[in-house]
Amino acid sequence: MENLYSLFQEFMDADRILLEEPMEKHTTFRIGGPADYVLQPASAEEVRKAVDVCRRHRIPWFIMGNGSNLLVSDQGYRGAVIQLYRNMSQADVDGCRIKAQAGASLAGLSKKAMEASLTGLEFAGGIPGTLGGAVTMNAGAYGGEMKDVLESVTALESSGQVISLRADQLEMGYRDSVVKRRQCIVLEAVMRLRPGDKEAIRESMQDLAQKRISKQPLEYPSAGSAFKRPKGHFAGKLIMDAGLKGCRVGDAQVAEKHCGFVINRGHATAADVAALMKHVQDEVMRQFQVKLEPEVKFLGDFPDTLL
């Protein structure tokens, strides 16, 4: 471990190399054991070098943003978590375009767009993730998706080559993109928006924010929607119709306000959450013959019987 630490120190400041770091500090679920390393690069070149060290020394590695869609095992992660977040969050407005690094928050970007009187990104104001993750999974809400605003994406391929992809090359679908399928790492993206009225944009964002507050359990830690939307159905309604509203395993609970969310009532473990999600999957399949696919990502070791 000391040898790897010195290798990371060759290109990254020591205060951005965290050892045995509890992942509960880095996920919106507030759950997760320690990762061997949490690396917080501040440039695309540091990302490339971090991945290169991991690859050459056969160290498992995982890319994350602010941990808004992630459940980390109670045992943590034996490898390096490369976190693209606050140290890579620069965003600049140029006319109708916003160019931003992968770690920029969607909430911050939507606010920046509003301040520049640019419309098109209002839907993203309440999505808790970062730009990199949003591009990878084509995040969306309230009728808008990232594919509607993206002009180009700069990403790191598994080969170590940095590439640029136009919007028409991204092949974006529901929670999917060519970036995700090719396991590329988003480094930055350019969004093209439209001129608009600042006050109208502000009102639209406030209206969407109020809808989220009234419909989503924002007062509890969670990872957002626990399951993807099955074709022809809504996950939350299926879960509610299955009689699972408020169902608990330990301190993990199907939210009563919105059954599509699994919340941490205070001391939930990753095992609690996984067991609850498995129970939800089984019941929905038994009652409606519909398979629910997790939208939450799982990192670390989980029993094979779960999910």
Query: Is 175 tagged catalytic?
Result: yes
Q: Which of 97, 175, 212, 248 is catalytic?
A: 175
Does residue 188 contact residue 99 with C-beta atoms inside 8 Å? yes
303 DSSP β-pair partners: none
* Residue 283 CB contacts under 8 Å (≥ 6 apart), including other chains: 242, 243, 244
Using only C-alpha atoms, the chain has a radius of gyration, in whole angstroms, of: 20
In Å, how far are 45, 135, 154, 227, 239 from 175, measured between CA atoms?
Answer: 28, 9, 19, 11, 20
**Residues 151, 171, 283, 295: which is the catalytic one?**
295
Q: What share of the chain is helix, strand, coil (3-state, %, to 5)?
A: 35, 30, 40
Which position among 73, 89, 105, 225 bears the catalytic label?
225
30 is catalytic: no
Q: What is the dihedral of CA 26, 28, 31, 33, to 10 degrees?
A: -20
Whether 89 is catalytic is: no
Q: Which residues contact 66 (CB under 8 A, 6 or more apart)?
A: 26, 28, 85, 105, 128, 129, 130
Q: Is the dihedral of CA 75, 78, 83, 87 positive or negative?
A: positive
The set of catalytic residues is 175, 225, 295
